[in-house]
Amino acid sequence: MKLYFSPGACSLSPHIVLREAGLDVTLEKVDLRSKKTASGADYLSINPKGYVPALDTGDGVLTEGPAIVQFVADKAPGKALAPAAGTMARYRMIEWLNFISTEVHKNYSPLFNPASSDDAKNNARDNLAKRYAYIEGMLAGRDYLLGDQYSVADAYLFVVTNWARPVKLDLSAYPNLQAFHARVGARPAVQEALRAEGLID
């Protein structure tokens, strides 16, 4: 398998999950501006959407982080990165993946876009504050989003919350979130992925 990624982008989530799963994968960096891969390939010919992640599974290219992480988790069931299909716990995990994707991830977009107006940025910050307040409450008394069991949803929340620092979003009001972020960040697979992408020494 091959993962197409951009350092620190949302592709870091499946990168982490692939390492957690212990699956054999190669990495190919994508320049999102030029839409070229490190080997010089036209990334739009691989993923016409033009953004990361994309995973060449050997049976086709899969895109969208929440889909990729579930695919990876199901390839390594012994690692327990996702609850069993058909269980309520699995649907809770999917619920979290959707919430993170639509309500947290997307609200960071205006903060990274230099063309965004101040109103758009302030609106995004207000939305993130509300979403993080909800997550803060849900993390009370639990280590991970599903309770005691780490899942692919935790990797995704870790990655998007990493973006708070570069956009100067203050998370000091959310001690449960901060503890969660440190807990996930200390996992060996997370450290390996961060190092591989050049995000830490």
Q: Which domains does the chain have, with CATH numbers?
A: 2-80+189-196 (3.40.30.10), 88-187 (1.20.1050.10)
The burial class, CB within 10 Å (0-12 / 13-18 / 19+), for 27 is middle
Rounded mean pLDDT of 6-12? 97
Q: How far apart are CA 153 and CA 17, in angstroms?
A: 10
Say whether pLDDT at 201 is over 90: no
> Are the CB atoms for 14 and 3 separated by under 8 Å?
yes
Q: What is the pLDDT of residues 144-153, one digit of tens each?
A: 999 999 999 9
Q: What is the pLDDT of residues 12-36, one digit of tens each?
A: 999 999 999 999 999 999 999 999 9
How far from chain centre, in Å, is Cα 59?
Answer: 23
What pTM does this model have?
0.97
Q: How far apart are CA 84 and CA 161, in angstroms?
A: 26
